[in-house]
Amino acid sequence: MRVNRGEPAYQRGEYDTEKRVDEQVHGVWWILGHEDHKAEGTARMFAEGLVWLDLNADPWQDIAGDEASHEPRTVYGETATGLPMSLHAVRFIGGQEERFAGRAHARYVADRLICGAHANNEEQVETSALSLSYRGLREWLLSTAVQVPTPVPQVYPVPSTGPEDDSSVRVEEWERRLKVEADGVVVEADVAKRLSTSNRFRSVYDTSAVLRLRSARPMTLAEWRRSWIVPLRDLVLFATREQTVVLYIRWHGPAYPHSTLGVYSPPDTQIGPPNHSEYYQRDLLPPGIWGEQGFVDLLEGWRGLYLSLGSVATSLFEVLNTVDIPPLTRLLRLTACAEGYHRVLHNERPFAPDEHDEMVDAMLNALPEDQRIRDQYRAPLQYANEQSQRKRLRWLIERAAEADTRLDGQTNVITGHLVDWRNDQTHLDKAREAPPVDELLLLNAVLTYVLEANILLDLGIGDDTYFCLSHGHVWDDPIPTWLEAHSASASRSRPSA
């Protein structure tokens, strides 16, 4: 995959990053298995992630009593138009008491709301097509996607507000559009503008981004989330170097043609203050670099890499998407992710398995014929055919130096600092002082830079890796600071082990 530098950067400063919005839906609700105890109420989905269920009168106290009503349970609902709904992990948090009539008003909190199905979990909900968006997707697509020469009006029967608003259709004009197919799923990535207000002096447009995914076979919502929703979310996170969350997940069902079906759950992370309020250009996959075929390569390469990494990818991007992790904790987690990254993708055993087994048996046979003694040595010897953490980190840093030659000669000193702090905090040596915060912050930044370089190389970008790194770190490049602080120690760094 080759980077095309032909399209200039898009100036994104005029836009505010898209945010989740508050929504609500009214209906009749009942506890699973107790359909004769129904109550009218409103489910409110707040932007910060809370899902509330407010009931005008609460008949469920008679079912479980005050204490048991705190236990999580599944609640089904239905709107006036017959749209089924499901609330998961519902528990009581408070309400108003009536002396002779139980709770007159009750509030419950839930972990998830599904509109369009009575289901106990996401494995029971199937769809062959859905639409979704992420925080930061609009800004990234505006700078990377293919511009439509003439805006094309498109009419979508999509309600403008909550799940039950089917009042009208809306007309959208594409600003950018990509349509690709990867792994049997058609992906349409659009940035559309809609007329918001207009008068004799000017017209104001709302601009938003959407991903539309369509598969030949129906997939469960859990499968969509594992295979597409989460990997694409972390692609936006990696590409923009800004926190991201899923803004919405929606789809349409033939049984409910005038209603928007979807799932609402708390965001994956709490969005912190912006890293840079005066600019928003930190893309590792920078503006204008992907044509349509390049975007196909990017999607296929990213999903292949992400799914191969498995839990390593989950842990790594959870760290990168969280701002309030203490520096030392972040460093320990990044170090573990780096070790896991190398183990999954670039592991090299020192000896062949059969050769290793023969040597282990020979060493054990040389010990006294005491089973307790042999068991004591057997377990450590089983791991003797694995590379050490020091070697894995050194390999990743040396590979990053192929893309950024400023790291040449810094491999041992960076590795030594990372491993020293990891060992000190793992074994809690009381003689060691607490690490300086500045050093921890710098080590975090350098290790993140090394991991980003390796990911870009594994995506197949090759010679353009340094271009992407320099663009993504144009305002916060950690390497000059590291070289200034450790140039003297590079020549006397500890030898490789």
CATH number at residue 96: 2.30.110
Single-letter amino acid, residue 462? G
The reply to whether 320 falls in a domain is no
Would you tell me how many other CB atoms lie within 10 Å of the CB of residue 16?
Answer: 7
Q: Which two tokens stand for residue 184?
A: 């049997």
Does 430 share its domain with 337? yes
Does 144 share its domain with 234? yes
Does 225 share its domain with 195? yes
**pLDDT at residue 101 above 60?**
no
The reply to whether 151 falls in a domain is yes
Output the pLDDT for position 146. Answer: 47
Does 275 share its domain with 177? yes
The reply to whether 315 falls in a domain is no
Q: Give dist(CA 128, CA 215) in Å, integer.
A: 5
Does 343 share its domain with 468? yes
User: What would the pLDDT profile of 181-215 be if each residue is shown by its tens digit?
Assistant: 888 899 888 887 766 677 767 666 677 888 999 99
Q: Domain end: 97, 119, 141, which one?
A: 119
Mean pLDDT to the nearest integer, 146-150: 44
**pLDDT at residue 163 above 50?**
no
Q: Could you give the 3-state DSSP secondary structure of residue 232? A: helix
Could you say which DSSP state residue 77 is in?
A: E
Q: Which two tokens stand for residue 51?
A: 């899902």
User: What would the pLDDT profile of 27-58 be if each residue is shown by its tens digit?
Assistant: 999 888 788 888 889 998 887 778 889 887 77
Instruction: Using pLDDT thresholds of 50, 70 and 90, give the confidence band for residue 70.
Output: low
Q: Give dist(CA 243, CA 271) in Å, integer.
A: 6
Q: Domain end: 119, 140, 156, which one?
A: 119
The reply to whether 316 falls in a domain is no
Q: Which two tokens stand for residue 290?
A: 């992907």
Contact 285, 467 (CB under 8 A): no
Does 343 share its domain with 357? no
**pLDDT at residue 281 above 60?**
no
Q: Give dist(CA 291, CA 315) in Å, integer.
A: 30
Q: Domain end: 119, 148, 164, which one?
A: 119
Least confident of 75-89, 97-111, 112-126, 158-172: 158-172
Which residues, other chains included, contact 129 with Cβ-Cβ below 8 Å and sequence gap of 6+?
A: 212, 213, 214, 215, 251, 252
Does 176 share its domain with 288? yes
Count of structural domains, the chain:
4
Mean pLDDT to the nearest integer, 421-434: 70
Beta strands in 10-101 (DSSP E): 23-31, 38-45, 51-55, 73-78, 84-98
The reply to whether 244 falls in a domain is yes
Output the pLDDT for position 131. Answer: 92
Q: Give dist(CA 436, CA 196) in Å, integer.
A: 51
Q: Which helix (H) or strand (E) holds 445?
A: helix 437-458
Does 251 share its domain with 374? no
Give me the domain span that covers residue 66.
Answer: 23-119
The reply to whether 432 falls in a domain is yes
Q: Which two tokens stand for residue 284?
A: 């590792």
The reply to whether 317 falls in a domain is no
Output the pLDDT for position 387. Answer: 79
Query: What is the dihedral sign for C-alpha 9, 15, 16, 20?
Result: negative
Mean pLDDT to the nearest integer, 321-332: 89
pLDDT, averaged across the chain: 78
Q: Which two tokens stand for residue 480?
A: 């000059």
Least confident of 71-85, 163-177, 363-377: 163-177
Does 270 share its domain with 295? yes
Q: Give dist(CA 44, CA 21) in Å, integer.
A: 11
Looking at beta carbons, which pairs linking 439-446 to residues 24 or more positions away fall under 8 Å?
A: 440/327, 440/328, 440/331, 441/327, 442/478, 442/481, 442/482, 442/485, 443/331, 443/414, 443/417, 443/418, 444/327, 444/330, 444/331, 444/334, 445/476, 445/478, 446/414, 446/478, 446/479, 446/482
**pLDDT at residue 282 above 50?**
yes
Output the pLDDT for position 449. Answer: 96
Which has more confidence, 210 or 432?
Answer: 210
Does 11 share its domain with 27? no
**pLDDT at residue 258 above 70?**
no
Does 206 share its domain with 74? no
Q: Say what the alpha-carbon torsion angle 134, 138, 139, 142 is, to the nearest 10 degrees.
A: 150
Distance (Å) of CA 453 to CA 40, 335, 358, 474: 55, 15, 38, 15
The reply to whether 319 falls in a domain is no
User: What would the pLDDT profile of 442-485 be if each residue is shown by its tens digit?
Assistant: 999 999 999 999 999 999 887 888 888 988 888 889 999 999 98
Least confident of 69-73, 79-83, 273-277, 423-427: 273-277
Write down the pTM of the prediction. Answer: 0.81
Does 71 share its domain with 129? no
**pLDDT at residue 313 above 70?**
yes
**pLDDT at residue 7 above 60?**
no
